[in-house]
Structure 1
Amino acid sequence: MIFKIITDSTADLNEDWADQQDIDILGLTITLDGKDYPTVGPERITSDVLLEAMKNGGQPTTSQVNVGQFETAFKKYAQEGRPVLYLAFSSVLSGTYHSSLIAREMVLEEFPEAIIEIIDTRAAAGGEGYLSIVAAQARDKGASLDETKAMIIDILPRLRTFFLVDNLYHLMRGGRLSKSSAVIGSLVNIKPLLWLDSEGKLVPLAKLRGRKKGMKEMVERAIQDVEDSTAIVAYANDEASAESLKEKLLETDNISEVLTMPLGPIISAHVGPDTLAVFTIGQTAR
């Protein structure tokens, strides 16, 4: 039986596309002004609504996918006898991955023959989405679950993730960055460039004076040593800059295709308005 791919809403995949590709998306939750909002389904909060609230002083918090959600999803496919490959949001940035491990053990107690494979992608946003797309393409070409899992694990240390943020306040507020690291984000016209290191930690990489220089630096770093000619560009309410980044990437010899996507509400809640991100796959480990 063809295996099922599951990821979570931090992968920022378009839900209609994911449905067509037989990918399930489990949603993390956003709390804003005392109200909880889903990030998957017709009632989901959109990034535009969230970012506008943040511009007006809103301070959203996020909650991981809980054990019960995972148990329901895993049990459904265990009952069908269908193997599952779950691509999880970085364990360094969320407890979602650990919740999935607990749920898997619970389901395996009832369905010991079930196949539930879980990968800590150590990725987020378009990086996690990139891995989901690659996994779906492999499955469509006839790759088995084991073959697909091995391929994804091989890619993990070579996945490049760069974020150019307007400031570091939101990352500090959410505990994803220390106060000392966030100081650079308060300097006038300094645009911090960050990346996810080999452990999945968000680390300051450079301090650029001005957005244009920041974008130029991000492109230069993203195209170094690339293996796959496809790149992903993500953005928080600045589609024009995302299109500019896309053009700059396509002008290089290394990139021939660029997919653009808005950052979803979970990632947007942590990085804040006007963030840009680029994701590529390199030849060597980070």
Structure 2
Amino acid sequence: MTVQIICDSASDLATADIEALDLIRVSLTVQLDGNDYKDGQNLEAKTMYDRMREGASPKTSQVTPQDFEDAFMKVAAAGKEALYLAFSSELSGTYQSAIIARDVVLEKYPETKIEIVDTLCASLGYGLVVKKAAELAQEGLSLAAITAKSTYYAEHMEHIFTVDDLEYLYRGGRVSKTAAFMGTLLKIKPILHVDDGKLIPLEKIRGTKKAYNRIFDIVEERATDLTGQTVGISHGDVEDVALELAEIFKTRFGVKEVVIRMVGSAVGAHSGPGTIAIFFQNQL
């Protein structure tokens, strides 16, 4: 493979995915209980969720330019081309760190081609874009072709999700303190989506089951054809719910493949345990 695909840990791909797809992954940092951890490396997401249920409030920071410089240098020294697909720039400064690092690497290796794409995606929606790019790279497509196809794929990736506790969105500045309090009191389940890389509230549904039913209605409204798609479901340590929803996808829409992954520490620190997110293409 002459094109090396690079991603960051906000893609929520498992280590087995990283190895199978021959990816280079750089990690965001998670601060938990006074310690710094590398997301996906030395902190299990479940450990973080358990601590959050006990009252911990983890924080995150972007991938450093140095981490990107190390990754890009490795690719350049090997004589390969690189495509870094980035976590939404509207949710993290990681994309800008990559831009800074590329300029440094190109000073030493001016002939190296390093493309950087702001996917404007998050969690497994972002991960599915990375997966698609890696598969194209393994097929031997050119850097230009992979960049174009993965960019299109990212532009049409839908993210529909709900959280179990509005408190975490409040801490991240996504909802007001009053909305968080009243939502919890009234058992409101917010449904949100990602638009131009930003988290945008869609609807407020009272009751978990009703919220899941409404999510599937939204999927039906927005998807053109799900039968041939790889659909993603990510969850905040509620795998049993994710598995149930995957079966609904298969029976209601005829989806042949549903990829289920836990929301990683970097994203989950802001969405909290109990999160359920659905990812699919709105246009093939």
Normalised TM-score (structure 1): 0.93
Q: CA deviation at 1:171?
A: 2.0
Deviations 1:146-177 (A, max 9, x none): 10110111122211001110122212212345
The match for 2:23 is: 23
The match for 1:241 is: 241
Task: Classify 1:250/1:99 alpha carbon distance in 2 versus 1 (closer, same or farther; 3 Å).
Answer: same
1:36 partner letter: D
Q: Secondary structure at the match of 1:122?
A: strand
The match for 1:210 is: 207
Q: Secondary structure at the match of 2:159?
A: strand
1:268 partner letter: G
Contact 2:119–2:155 (8 Å) recurs in 1: no
The match for 1:122 is: 120
Give, in whole Å, the separation in 1 of the partners of 2:82 and 2:178. 41
Give, in whole Å, the separation in 2 of the partners of 1:139 and 1:217. 37
1:16 partner letter: A
Task: Pick one of 216, 219, 226 that aligns with 1:222.
Answer: 219
2:255 partner letter: I
Stretches of structure 2 lacking an aligned partner (at least 5 in a row): none
Give, in whole Å, the separation in 1 of the partners of 2:80 and 2:186. 54
The CA RMSD measured in Å over matched residues stands at: 1.7
Task: Pick one of 44, 50, 53 that aligns with 2:48.
Answer: 50
Deviations 1:58-85 (A, max 9, x none): 0000011000000111011111211001
Give, in whole Å, the separation in 1 of the partners of 2:229 and 2:55. 40
Give, in whole Å, the separation in 2 of the partners of 1:184 and 1:133. 39
Q: Percent identity?
A: 39
Give, in whole Å, the separation in 2 of the partners of 1:93 and 1:66. 15
Provide runs of 4+ in structure 1 moved above 6 Å: none
Q: Secondary structure at the match of 1:251?
A: helix
Q: Secondary structure at the match of 2:80?
A: coil
**How many residues get paired?**
281
Give, in whole Å, the separation in 2 of the partners of 1:160 and 1:180. 29
2:204 partner letter: K
Q: Secondary structure at the match of 2:160?
A: strand
Contact 2:191–2:211 (8 Å) recurs in 1: yes
Which range is displaced more, 168-177 or 245-254? 168-177
The match for 2:198 is: 201
1:275 partner letter: T
Stretches of structure 1 lacking an aligned partner (at least 5 in a row): none
